[in-house]
Structure 1
Amino acid sequence: MHKVPRRNIIILSVAAVVAGILGYYLWQYGKYVTPAKIGDVAPDIKAVTVTGQNFELKSLQGEPVFLNFFTPWCPPCIQETPDLIAFAKQYGNRIHVVLIDRGDDSVLVRNYVSKYHVPSEMTVLLSPSDHWSPPYGVTGQPETFLISSSGKIVRHIIGPLTEAQMVQYAKEAGLQTQ
């Protein structure tokens, strides 16, 4: 029987430990970087509203959610704003309308809320480091996710929407228009 040198055993042992640690970290990284898709439970969002209140998306479970990623300076987001406001005023008591900023300064977001008279039926979240875009796979703005009352993503739309489109897609999430 051939004897394996002790040095080779040590090298193989260290390599196995390093590979295990690296595999664990890659697995953990993949859990947070792999974006949610239609049918998945929406990743929880913990943020602060533009008015300074703590917010958790999971607290809205039981009712549908219209989640819109935006920036206050983007032309398509600004184009969509009047429709978002009209939608929220009409249906805000039956679906949560949540806007989440993609990394802008809070003053810029507050100016947007003030300039466009964003109503209380809309929750506007601050995300100074744009922390919540990766879990949702957001790469631009506006991007909208419709989330059912059970917390699952039922639709992902890239680009601005009209009020009629918002209503149509929100029905898929469980919005009752009657």
Structure 2
Amino acid sequence: MQRLRGLGRGQLFAIAAAMVGVVVILALSVIPAGGTGRHAQPAPAKNFTLVALGHPGQVSLRSLAGQPVIVNFFASWCGPCQRETPLLASFYRSTHGRVALIGIDVNDRASSALAFMRKSGVTYPVGTEPASESTVIAYGLPGLPATFFLDARHRIVKRVYGAVTRAELTSGAALINPRAK
């Protein structure tokens, strides 16, 4: 307390503001994907339709209506994405049919993304995000990679920002489809 008495009003205000900021950040970091409280509902995922990479056509969330889906945002130039994508590819092969997986390539050249997908063993559908990055904005990404776990009604029940681990994939898949284990 003695140290605080020698500080000016501006300094005390700055310390108080920093403390409030830390409390807010800590509080937000523990809020579940769908809100707070005992009866919180998962947040609805935004639909998207993107140009498919590696095959003609489109990749859309709506085309997977009624199915649990994992949506992964990545880029070939992203270091953590380079580490997690082979894991996602392996996980997809092991759970194929029980959980759908869609990759969304962000801010990348198609040739780089296709080479990266081949090298990583990706067989799940991947769409490319247009220059407007409207899907990135709709999902509120803080950066890459980011993975969203959607239940069969396409509500976000879990988010992982940063490289996803096998344990996170397994627990997230079990949340959206208990048969996915």
TM-score, normalising length from structure 2?
0.72
Residue 128 (structure 1) aligned with residue 138 (structure 2): no
Residue 97 (structure 1) aligned with residue 125 (structure 2): no
Percentage of identical aligned residues: 29
> What is residue 81 of structure 1 aligned with on the other side?
85
Q: Is the 8 A contact 2:58 2:127 kept in 1?
A: no
Unaligned runs of 5+ in 2: 1-32, 35-41
Q: Which amino acid aligns with 1:127?
A: E
RMSD: 1.5
Unaligned runs of 5+ in 1: 1-36
Q: Which amino acid aligns with 2:64?
A: L
Which of 35, 42, 45 is the aligned partner of 2:45? 42
Q: Which amino acid aligns with 1:125?
A: G
> What is the CA-CA distance between 1:91 and the residue it aligns to?
0.7
Residue 61 (structure 1) aligned with residue 65 (structure 2): yes
Structure 1 segments (4+ residues) deviating >3 Å? none
| Compared CA separation, residues 103 and 52, structure 1 to 2 (3 A) | farther
TM-score, normalising length from structure 1?
0.74
| In 1: Cα distance, 2:145 partner to 2:88 partner | 11
> What is the CA-CA distance between 1:155 and the residue it aligns to?
0.8
| In 1: Cα distance, 2:155 partner to 2:122 partner | 26
Residue 174 (structure 1) aligned with residue 177 (structure 2): yes
Residue 154 (structure 1) aligned with residue 160 (structure 2): no
